[in-house]
Amino acid sequence: MRRRILIAKVGLDGHDRGAKVVARALKNAGFEVIYTGIRQSPEQVVETAIQEDVDLIGLSCLSGAHIPLFSRVMELLKEQNVDIPVFGGGTIPPSDVSALKSMGIREVFGPGSSLKDIVAKVKEMVAK
Amino acid sequence: MDKDEIIKAREKWEAEKLKKFLEKRPERGSFRLDFGDEIYRLYTPEHLRDWNYLEKLGFPGDYPYTRGVYPTMYRGKLWTMRQYAGFATAEETNKRYKYLLERGQTGLSVAFDLPTQIGYDSDDPMALGEVGKVGVAIDTIEDMRILFNGIPLDKISTSMTINSTAAILLSMYQIIGEEQGVDSTLLRGTIQNDILKEYIARGTYIFPPQPSMRLVADAIIYCAEHIPKWNPISISGYHIREAGSTSVQEIAFTIGDGIEYVKWITKRGVDVDKFAPRLSFFFAAHNNFFEEIAKLRAARRLWAKIMKERFGAKNPRSWMLRFHTQTGGSTLTAQQPLNNIIRVTIQALAAVLGGTQSLHTNSYDEALALPTEKSVEIALRTQQIIAYESGIVDTIDPLGGSYYVEWLTDRIEEEAIKYLDKIDAMGGMTRAIESGYIQKEIADSAYKIQMKIENGERVVVGVNKFVDENEKLNIELMKVDEAVAQRQIKRLKHIRKMRDARKVEESLDALKRVAEKEEGNENNMVPYIYRCVKNYATLGEIVAALKEIFGEYRAPTVI
């Protein structure tokens, strides 16, 4: 069965070049990819993830609001008792990576990440 | 010299010198521009066949403005050095403006946070985490008063990157001017007010295209009557480029947007020469140096022709494409961040050689965060060194006549015209955007460019070549702390308590009543928005009132 991945733009920023490029690369790597479009609240993202029964969630944020927004997504997933692995990307300074990982985000892809790397790590994450 | 003689000489050079040389030392590969063209080994007069100086270039300040929009360009006045800045609350941003002005910046450029751009008050649940992050938070006129405290609006020009909520921020600025005793006719500056590229690339739209276009037109017409020195729109290619387009797509889609605005406003019965002289533009400067210079020259020539020939504008000022430039944010790297200073320098040189009217130079830390005082100072100094030390400003359009640059200018113009013809055939830019065509073209280019970086065809120093495996980030980054939102919300709540609630209600009702009426010069919404602002209605309340009438737009997702 093809694995399904939700690529979600959480928060208000409209910078979705990265999200789209990653979505396309994952599609080309054989995944089924659902892209939410921009400006999704954490509530909407979690709802879509559950409805679409995805195997993995990728969050993108380039406004600097990644800590409050990603942590709200993690909180909601916990409240709903769903165990879907989450990874994140965007303009995220290295100093924030440990905070994101400690809230349960599996992988963080900052600026300059290669698609090859992202696809490889995504394969690992869905295999687990 | 006769063209035939040159061809003969070139063939001789190829046979006798080049061939042998290539056998011994082959070239490193082939060379190509992102929009598809091959770059030849050498450019000569052969590449400018039937090239007519007066037709293609003319003189600076003269149609078609290829060499620049003013007769003396930087010999008379340097471009405006205008760093895009804003973060946290109005107090912090006001301090940053004064810091920049003290260091020789010559214009202001306001970055607003996303809730302000999308029409949410700072205490709206949708604003979670975003207050003061990418720009300054503005909820009411009181914030604007603090933002410009101690900055005389008759002495400085201010550009505001604001689109869906542009009329609200413009009204605030006008009122602050009045409070300072500055008449609206003296205010100078720009609102971005370019909604079409928000649907294409930037994403801060609120309402569907039709009422959004009405708001854009209302602001343009209002400014023509009340704030005549204001640029009521900055038709922007920057965000299209940053979203991944090629240089050709950048100018084609931007000029396509420009055409759509001119069509819309003239349809309202306004004479083209009444508003076109104040249309302004905004482009990116990326890394490919000559391509960027040629792009800016081509855009100028193309716009002049369109305004004169297609729209029949008579006032030469309507033909002039005046623009702001920003260096390419997406070209910056998080790896080895100090390298970005060099990238920005190259890009800024291209902007100046392309004849920009104002310039923002990015700071070296912007792949990771908003700039610090230290990084933004270097960015500003970069402009000052170019302006005062490099000598490239001493003569006008010094690259004019370069075989390569002129060939490239022609080619970019030709390719952009192909896109414009296609968009016309689709029924114009609004249709092309609604169908997703423009977004798809950009997404395709973005993916292709990323593939070139992945396979090493495009080198990004420090990222896919000359990588420092043990690199540790050793620069200080700016952080907007989460307590900012609390402070901002406190002020907002205070204003809501202090104001005359009845007046707020009345002015919002009046706005809704005019919004319900048909689009037209007699139903211009800006004066009604002005009254709401003056009565301390919040930005979120004004937008909510308009949403009741216009609804909200849901964009198609195009991967």
> pLDDT tens digits for A52-76?
999 999 999 999 999 999 999 999 9
Q: Which of B112, B120, B133 to mutate to test the interface with A (most CBs of A within 10 A)?
A: B133
In a domain, B543, yes or no: no
> Which among B125, B130, B202 has CB closest to A14?
B202
pLDDT, one tens digit per residue, over B134-186 is 999 999 999 999 999 999 999 999 999 999 999 999 999 999 999 999 999 99
For the whole model, what pTM was predicted? Answer: 0.97
pLDDT, one tens digit per residue, over B270-308 is 999 999 999 999 999 999 999 999 999 999 999 999 999
In a domain, B286, yes or no: yes
Q: Which residue of B has its CA nearest to A69?
A: B129
Q: Which of A17, A109, A116 to mutate to test the interface with B (most CBs of B within 10 A)?
A: A17
- Domain ranges, residue B379: 53-454
- What ipTM does this complex have? 0.96
Q: For residue B82, what are the CA distances in angstroms to A10, B100, B223, B323, B457?
A: 31, 9, 22, 12, 34
The first and second tokens of residue A86, run together, are 């989450």
Mean predicted confidence (pLDDT) in B431-448 = 96
Contacts of B134 in chain A (CB under 8 A): 13, 63-64
Q: Which residue of A has its CA nearest to B114?
A: A12
**Total count of domains within chain B:** 1
In chain B, pLDDT over 70 holds for what percent of residues? Answer: 100
pLDDT, one tens digit per residue, over B80-120 is 999 999 999 999 999 999 999 999 999 999 999 999 999 99
pLDDT, one tens digit per residue, over B466-510 is 999 999 988 999 999 889 999 999 999 999 999 999 999 999 999
- Residue whose token pair is 């020009």: B157
Q: Which of B118, B121, B131, B134 to mutate to test the interface with A (most CBs of A within 10 A)?
A: B134
Verify whether the Cβ–Cβ distance A112 to B125 is below 8 Å: no
Residue spans of chain A under pLDDT 70: none
Number of A:B CB contacts under 8 A? 113
In a domain, B425, yes or no: yes
Dihedral sign for Cα atoms in the order B402, B407, B408, B414: positive
Q: For residue B447, what are the CA distances in angstroms to B197, B330, B451, B489?
A: 19, 14, 6, 41
Contact assessment for residue B178 and residue B524, using Cβ atoms and an 8 Å cutoff:
no
Contact assessment for residue A109 and residue A61, using Cβ atoms and an 8 Å cutoff:
no
pLDDT score for B552:
97
Mean predicted confidence (pLDDT) in B220-228 = 98
Helix (H) or strand (E) holding A69, with range, is helix A66-79
CATH code (residue B207): 3.20.20.240
* Mean pLDDT taken over chain B: 97
Nearest chain B Cα distance for residue A1, angstroms: 23
**B residues 323-352 closer than 8 Å to A (CB):** 330, 332-335
In a domain, B509, yes or no: no
pLDDT band, very low/low/confident/very high, at B1 (cuts 50, 70, 90): low
Contacts of B460 in chain A (CB under 8 A): 112
| Angle, CA of B132, B86 and B362, to the nearest 5° | 125
Contacts of A111 in chain B (CB under 8 A): 332-334, 367-368
Q: Spell out the residues 6+ positions from residue B4 whose beta carbon is closer than 8 angstroms to its own.
A: none
pLDDT score for B387:
98
> Which among A15, A23, A110 has CB closest to B559?
A23
> Which among A63, A68, A115 has CB closest to B482?
A68
> Which among A12, A27, A92 has CB closest to B118?
A12
Contacts of B464 in chain A (CB under 8 A): 114
Verify whether the Cβ–Cβ distance B557 to A37 is below 8 Å: yes
Verify whether the Cβ–Cβ distance B201 to A14 is below 8 Å: yes
pLDDT score for B413:
98
Mean predicted confidence (pLDDT) in B260-269 = 97
Domains and CATH numbers, chain A: 4-127 (3.40.50.280)
**B residues 132-151 closer than 8 Å to A (CB):** 133-134
Mean predicted confidence (pLDDT) in B221-239 = 98
pLDDT score for B49:
86
pLDDT score for A75:
98
Q: Distance (Å, rounded) from C-alpha B109 to C-alpha B379? A: 14
